Amino acid sequence: MVDFIVNWIAFTPVFAVPLMLASIGLIINERAGVMNLGAEGIMLVGAFAGVVVYIESGNILALGTLGAIAAGLVVSALFAFMVVTMRLNQVVAGIAIVFFASGLTGLIGNPWTERAVEGFTKVDMGVLSTIPVLGKIVFSQDLMVYASIPIVYFVWRFLHRSIPGMKLRAVGENPQAADAAGVSIDLMRFGAVVTGGALVGLAGGYLALAASKIWVEDMTHGRGWIAVALVIFARWRPGRAVLGALLFGGIEALIPRIQAVGLAVPQYLLLMMPYLVTLAVLTYVGLVSRTGSGAPGALGLPYVREDRR
Residue 242 lies in a domain: yes
Residue 114 lies in a domain: yes
Residue 303 lies in a domain: no
Query: What are the start-end ranges of the H helices in 81-124?
Result: 90-108
CA 277 remoteness from chain centre: 18
Among the listed residues 265, 237, 239, 238, the one whose alpha carbon sits nearest the alpha carbon of residue 251? 265
Q: What is the pLDDT of residue 3?
A: 83
Residue 257 lies in a domain: yes
Residue 296 lies in a domain: no
Distance CA 281, CA 79 (A): 28
Q: Kindly tell me the number of DSSP H helices and DSSP E strands found in the chain.
A: 12, 0
Host domain of residue 56: 2-288
Residue 305 lies in a domain: no
Is this model's pTM higher than 0.75 or not?
yes
Q: Which CATH number fits the domain that encloses residue 273?
A: 1.10.3470
178 contacts 296 by C-beta, under 8 angstroms: no
What are the CA-CA distances from residue 303 to residues 93, 175, 266 (Å)? 16, 7, 49
Distance CA 81, CA 102 (A): 20
Listed as own residue / partner, the contacts of 235-239 with beta carbons closer than 8 Å and 24 or more positions apart are: 235/285, 235/289, 235/293, 235/294, 236/27, 236/30, 236/31, 236/294, 236/295, 236/296, 237/27, 237/294, 238/24, 238/27, 238/152, 238/155, 238/156, 238/159, 239/152, 239/156
38 contacts 170 by C-beta, under 8 angstroms: no
26 contacts 200 by C-beta, under 8 angstroms: yes
Number of domains in the chain: 1
Residue 208 lies in a domain: yes
Strand, coil or helix: 74: helix
Distance CA 101, CA 73 (A): 13
Residue 302 lies in a domain: no
Q: What is the pLDDT of residue 281?
A: 77
Distance CA 303, CA 295 (A): 17
Summarised one tens digit per residue, pLDDT across range 1-21 is 788 888 889 999 999 999 999
Low-confidence ranges of the chain (pLDDT < 70): 289-293, 306-309
Torsion over CA: 179, 156, 202, 94 (sign): negative
Summarised one tens digit per residue, pLDDT across range 253-270 is 888 888 777 777 777 777
Burial class (CB in 10 A: 0-12, 13-18, 19+), 120: buried
Per this entry, what is the length of the chain?
A: 309
